[in-house]
Structure 1
């Protein structure tokens, strides 16, 4: 720790904030920030989300940092054994904390799920079934982390679950986000048609759009990219929204962000994590697809890992060499 450098964090530069959500907003610095940070900290739910075998022994805040983020339709405290995780993201911040890689894990990825602590049997299945097999809730996220650790050899610095309904409120409080649609798509949830071009979307529209995968050229891969784009759109909107003159609205945004999260920071105080990530540039986000391809097995549609290239990605994550891997495998990497 360097007390002399503990200045007020510039919220407009923070994407990962507590580091643990599909999206975390950047906010303008304001007077009374410590008070607001304390209030935000108290709104965040905390659980032991990581399986012991998937957890790093110690987190060094100068990096590298690797987090597991899960998006769900339901807040973690609501147990639903029939629920599967809708979005799975591995966020890797290399040493120096000047770049972030957003690695989207296909939810249909065929993996070997270990036995659950609840007595559920292990075996091959789609990765988003790990949450269901673990019994939902905290047990489901733990089994998901154990599954990913077995697949990749990674240990995580923390994990988080974001409730999509809560983030809808955050987007609305920010005045919506600017999303650019590349291919026309009709929502299978609402019937809304998203036409090509850049549009201002409210929370409901944005979350509806980024969850579409049918009728898109890249299917689920396009859905993953659109979710990554939403991360940046929220960051940019928060940076453009002048909340310094409206502390009441800032407080509402902070509470909405905190209220949508359940986190496991591996013992690191949220404020220290915010400070460590305060200088992460907005243009430093790169989206990464896990090298894989769709495949039908016994009349069931899966996504199957490219063992050679995907294994190289996982090794690069373990060794903090993702930049080198990305240079040699550009087809799987794109700016967010």
Structure 2
């Protein structure tokens, strides 16, 4: 009991320090924001992976990864819903374009407004992490295990990814997760690999006892802090982390927004398919488990 109490106190102290070290901004458009005063499920969070590069800070940012994290009441599971970055949508004030263009036009607020207009889902919070943050987290963990299911070569580095499960450093894991060319399902495979990387990080963190080791957690806090921007919707970050502390890698379920690739006017887009409105409704009505059971085709193997 004493060890448990010390661990809980240590976690709260570290997260309190974390709250002071990470950037906190209003990432959500007011029309996309769910009004809450405490952490209570179900929850929907907007997670954005940015391609900002430390060696080219003036090169701008794009939303390389867009994920809705849905956490049902009870916080015993988390559904990762990947949104295709080429999804053809109406962007408020900018007409029809690919959804990741919303981030370029108006950063996270416009992207959140675009997603809410498309899906009807409002958000309890949001977070942006850049590439350097992912690399540092993986390297701090000593690498992660990723299982390559399609032999491919990186268009960025030329690295050859052979079949099978293998240990990857932060740079290699991120490089693999970003590939989409020459993969059978293109960007849809890429979305699945993003989800697999998130799960691999959680698996390694759990195996290393990161969640229960205040010293290791402190290292991670300092490593990722400068790469992470959050909007907790007014809820103290330590309360959110404490509420979700029981989630483990086995609790993650990867989902794909039903869509297909199509060329329109010489441009490749992703267009939503019929089951998509049902998924969006399930996110709003906290019935994602039922939708997933009825639509196993769109569950990603993690």
Partner of 2:139: 172
Asked whether 1:209 is paired with 2:176, we answer yes
Partner of 2:148: 181
Change (3 A) 1:104 1:276: same
Partner of 1:103: 81
Asked whether 1:296 is paired with 2:263, we answer yes
Asked whether 1:322 is paired with 2:288, we answer yes
| Partner SS for 1:263 | strand
Gapped runs of 5+ residues in structure 1?
1-6, 10-28, 116-121, 135-139
Change (3 A) 1:128 1:80: farther
Instruction: Give 1:240 shift.
Output: 1.5
Change (3 A) 1:33 1:97: closer
The answer to whether the 8 A contact 2:205-2:211 is kept is no
Q: What is the distance in 1 between the residues matched to 2:158 and 2:193?
A: 18
Q: What is the distance in 1 between the residues matched to 2:212 and 2:178?
A: 34
Instruction: Give 1:79 shift.
Output: 7.9
Indicate which of 228, 232, 244 corresponds to 2:199.
232
The answer to whether the 8 A contact 1:81-1:133 is kept is no
Indicate which of 245, 270, 277 corresponds to 2:244.
277
The answer to whether the 8 A contact 1:45-1:262 is kept is yes
Q: Over aligned residues, Cα RMSD in angstroms?
A: 2.3
The answer to whether the 8 A contact 2:16-2:237 is kept is no
Equivalences for 1:52-91 in 2 at 5 Å? 52-58=30-36, 60-74=38-52, 83-91=61-69
Change (3 A) 1:216 1:203: same
The answer to whether the 8 A contact 1:290-1:305 is kept is yes
The structure whose residues are more often helix, as a share, is 2
Instruction: Give 1:96 shift.
Output: 1.4
> After the TM superposition, which of the residue ranges 82-91 and 206-215 deviates more from structure 2?
82-91
> After the TM superposition, which of the residue ranges 240-249 and 324-333 deviates more from structure 2?
240-249
Instruction: Give 1:146 shift.
Output: 0.5
Instruction: Give 1:81 shift.
Output: 8.2
Name the TM-score, length of structure 1 as normaliser.
0.83
| Partner SS for 1:90 | strand
| Partner SS for 1:222 | helix
Q: What is the distance in 1 between the residues matched to 2:101 and 2:152?
A: 27
Equivalent pairs, count:
298
Partner of 1:25: none
Partner of 1:51: 29
Indicate which of 151, 174, 195 corresponds to 2:162.
195
Instruction: Give 1:250 shift.
Output: 3.9
The answer to whether the 8 A contact 1:94-1:320 is kept is yes
Partner of 1:15: none
Change (3 A) 1:292 1:244: closer
Q: What is the distance in 1 between the residues matched to 2:59 and 2:211?
A: 43
Change (3 A) 1:111 1:274: same
Gapped runs of 5+ residues in structure 2?
none
Partner of 2:297: 331
The answer to whether the 8 A contact 2:68-2:81 is kept is yes
The answer to whether the 8 A contact 1:93-1:100 is kept is yes
Change (3 A) 1:309 1:167: same
The answer to whether the 8 A contact 1:51-1:142 is kept is yes
The answer to whether the 8 A contact 1:54-1:154 is kept is yes
Q: What is the distance in 2 between the residues matched to 1:101 and 1:80?
A: 34
Change (3 A) 1:286 1:298: same
